[in-house]
Amino acid sequence: MPRIQIHLSTALVLMLATGMLMWLNTRPTRNIIRTHSESRGVVLMPYMNYGWPGDAVWRTDEPDFPTTWGWNAFAVIIDAGIGMLMLLSLWFVCELRIYPRVGDNARHPFAEREASM
Protein backbone atom coordinates (compact mmCIF):
# COMPACT_ATOMS: atom_id res chain seq x y z
CA MET A 1 0.00 0.00 0.00
CA PRO A 2 1.62 3.29 -1.09
CA ARG A 3 2.05 6.10 1.38
CA ILE A 4 1.42 9.77 0.71
CA GLN A 5 4.73 11.63 0.71
CA ILE A 6 5.27 15.35 0.36
CA HIS A 7 8.39 17.42 -0.15
CA LEU A 8 9.90 19.44 2.68
CA SER A 9 9.19 22.73 0.89
CA THR A 10 5.53 21.75 0.53
CA ALA A 11 5.37 20.91 4.24
CA LEU A 12 6.81 24.33 5.13
CA VAL A 13 4.31 26.13 2.89
CA LEU A 14 1.45 24.11 4.42
CA MET A 15 2.64 24.95 7.95
CA LEU A 16 2.69 28.67 7.13
CA ALA A 17 -0.77 28.47 5.56
CA THR A 18 -2.10 26.57 8.60
CA GLY A 19 -0.70 29.23 10.90
CA MET A 20 -2.38 31.94 8.83
CA LEU A 21 -5.73 30.11 8.97
CA MET A 22 -5.40 29.65 12.72
CA TRP A 23 -4.65 33.37 13.12
CA LEU A 24 -7.69 34.30 11.03
CA ASN A 25 -9.94 32.04 13.10
CA THR A 26 -8.73 33.21 16.53
CA ARG A 27 -8.57 36.95 15.80
CA PRO A 28 -11.56 38.80 17.31
CA THR A 29 -13.74 41.01 15.14
CA ARG A 30 -15.50 43.71 17.15
CA ASN A 31 -19.14 44.53 16.38
CA ILE A 32 -21.97 46.38 18.07
CA ILE A 33 -25.50 45.08 18.55
CA ARG A 34 -28.51 47.18 19.50
CA THR A 35 -30.42 45.68 22.42
CA HIS A 36 -33.01 46.76 24.98
CA SER A 37 -32.49 47.00 28.73
CA GLU A 38 -35.43 47.54 31.12
CA SER A 39 -33.45 49.97 33.24
CA ARG A 40 -31.56 51.87 30.53
CA GLY A 41 -33.76 51.54 27.45
CA VAL A 42 -31.99 51.01 24.13
CA VAL A 43 -28.36 50.00 24.64
CA LEU A 44 -25.54 49.52 22.15
CA MET A 45 -23.74 46.41 23.36
CA PRO A 46 -20.31 45.51 21.95
CA TYR A 47 -19.57 41.89 21.14
CA MET A 48 -16.76 39.99 19.45
CA ASN A 49 -16.92 37.38 16.70
CA TYR A 50 -14.35 34.68 16.12
CA GLY A 51 -13.94 32.62 12.97
CA TRP A 52 -13.20 33.03 9.30
CA PRO A 53 -14.99 33.15 6.85
CA GLY A 54 -18.06 32.60 9.02
CA ASP A 55 -18.63 33.90 12.55
CA ALA A 56 -18.36 30.62 14.45
CA VAL A 57 -18.18 31.96 18.03
CA TRP A 58 -19.43 35.20 19.56
CA ARG A 59 -18.93 36.74 22.99
CA THR A 60 -20.44 39.85 24.57
CA ASP A 61 -18.06 42.36 26.04
CA GLU A 62 -20.09 44.80 28.15
CA PRO A 63 -19.30 45.53 31.80
CA ASP A 64 -22.96 46.25 32.70
CA PHE A 65 -24.23 42.94 31.32
CA PRO A 66 -23.10 39.41 32.17
CA THR A 67 -20.58 37.95 29.75
CA THR A 68 -22.30 35.52 27.42
CA TRP A 69 -21.05 33.53 24.50
CA GLY A 70 -22.45 31.22 21.84
CA TRP A 71 -21.41 29.33 18.78
CA ASN A 72 -22.83 28.44 15.40
CA ALA A 73 -22.29 24.76 14.47
CA PHE A 74 -22.92 25.39 10.77
CA ALA A 75 -20.27 28.14 10.67
CA VAL A 76 -17.77 25.86 12.47
CA ILE A 77 -18.29 23.15 9.83
CA ILE A 78 -18.03 25.67 6.98
CA ASP A 79 -14.85 27.20 8.46
CA ALA A 80 -13.22 23.78 8.89
CA GLY A 81 -14.27 22.63 5.40
CA ILE A 82 -12.97 25.76 3.68
CA GLY A 83 -9.71 25.53 5.62
CA MET A 84 -9.19 21.90 4.59
CA LEU A 85 -10.10 22.68 0.98
CA MET A 86 -7.58 25.53 0.93
CA LEU A 87 -4.80 23.35 2.38
CA LEU A 88 -5.50 20.46 -0.01
CA SER A 89 -5.52 22.84 -2.98
CA LEU A 90 -2.24 24.37 -1.85
CA TRP A 91 -0.69 20.91 -1.43
CA PHE A 92 -1.81 19.91 -4.93
CA VAL A 93 -0.43 23.10 -6.53
CA CYS A 94 2.90 22.89 -4.68
CA GLU A 95 3.46 19.26 -5.59
CA LEU A 96 2.56 19.86 -9.25
CA ARG A 97 5.13 22.65 -9.42
CA ILE A 98 7.85 20.47 -7.85
CA TYR A 99 7.45 17.21 -9.79
CA PRO A 100 8.37 18.46 -13.29
CA ARG A 101 11.76 19.55 -11.87
CA VAL A 102 12.50 16.20 -10.19
CA GLY A 103 13.01 14.30 -13.43
CA ASP A 104 11.27 12.05 -15.89
CA ASN A 105 11.96 8.83 -14.02
CA ALA A 106 10.41 10.08 -10.75
CA ARG A 107 7.01 8.65 -9.91
CA HIS A 108 4.36 11.36 -10.08
CA PRO A 109 1.71 10.96 -7.34
CA PHE A 110 -1.14 12.31 -9.48
CA ALA A 111 -0.38 10.39 -12.65
CA GLU A 112 -2.25 7.21 -13.38
CA ARG A 113 -0.29 4.05 -12.73
CA GLU A 114 1.10 2.37 -15.78
CA ALA A 115 0.91 -1.34 -16.17
CA SER A 116 4.46 -2.58 -15.71
CA MET A 117 3.86 -6.14 -16.84
72-112 pLDDT per residue, tens: 999 999 999 999 999 999 999 998 877 765 555 555 555 55
> How does DSSP assign 81-95, residue by residue?
HHHHHHHHHHHHHHH
Higher per-residue confidence, 46 vs 15: 15
pTM: 0.71
Contact 56, 25 (CB under 8 A): yes
Q: CA-to-CA distance for 91 and 13, rounded, in angstroms?
A: 8
Say how far residue 105 (Cα) sits from the centre of its chain: 36
pLDDT tens by residue, 23-80: 999 998 888 877 777 777 777 778 889 998 888 898 887 776 677 888 999 999 999 9
Residues present in the chain in total: 117
Give, rounded to a whole angstrom, the gap between the first and last alpha carbons of the chain. 18
